[in-house]
Amino acid sequence: MYTLYHGTGACSLAIQAALELIDAEYEVKLLDLSRGEQRSEDYLAINPYGKVPALSSEELVLSEGLAIHLYLFDKFPESELLPKNLSQRAQAYRWLAFVYSNIHPHFSPELYGEDAESTRLNARTAIETLFNFISEQLGNKNFLAGEQLSAGDLYLAVQLQWAQ
C-alpha cells in the first residue's frame, strides 16, 4: 500500500489521479501547507526538501512529482497512463516533462519576491504563451500524446485549474 503526502490544491493532485487510474491501493496524508506542516520534523524525515508530493511504501520513499510518475509507469506497466506505442509513449514523456519544467515553476510562490505584482504579471504572460503553444500543438486532438489520456494530460489539468 502506498501513502501519498499531498497538500490541498497542490500538484500532488496529478499523482493522486494517476494512483486512481492505475487502481493502486493508497491512502492520502493531507498536509496543511498554509500552516507549514510540510516543514514539520515528521515530514522532513520523509522528504528533507519539505515539499509535496512524496510517495511511500514498504519498498521506497520517493519525492518529486516527475520521479513519482515515472516510478508508477514502471511499477504498473499494464496501466493506461502511457501509450503502448513507443512513439506515442515518447510524446507522453515529452509533455509530462514540458508541463513540469515550463509551466509549473510559474505557479511557485517562491518566485514572488519584493516586486511581486511585476513578477505575477510576467508569470501570467509566460503561462498564456505556454498554454497557447500547447493549444496549437494539440490542434484537433483530445490528448497530448495521441489517442488516450496520459499522465501529461493529468498534470496539465492541475496546471489549468491553477491558472483559473
pLDDT band at residue 79 using 50, 70 and 90 as cut-offs? confident
pLDDT digits (tens, 9 = 90+) for 23-60: 999 999 999 988 999 999 999 999 988 989 999 999 99
Residue with the bigger pLDDT between 155 and 114: it is: 155
Per residue in 93-147, pLDDT tens?
998 898 888 887 776 655 445 566 776 777 788 788 888 888 888 888 888 877 8
Q: Exposed, middle or buried, 125 (CB in 10 Å: 0-12/13-18/19+)?
A: exposed
* Domains of the chain with bracketed CATH: 2-75 (3.40.30.10), 86-163 (1.20.1050.10)
The residue ranking higher by pLDDT, 16 or 138, is 16
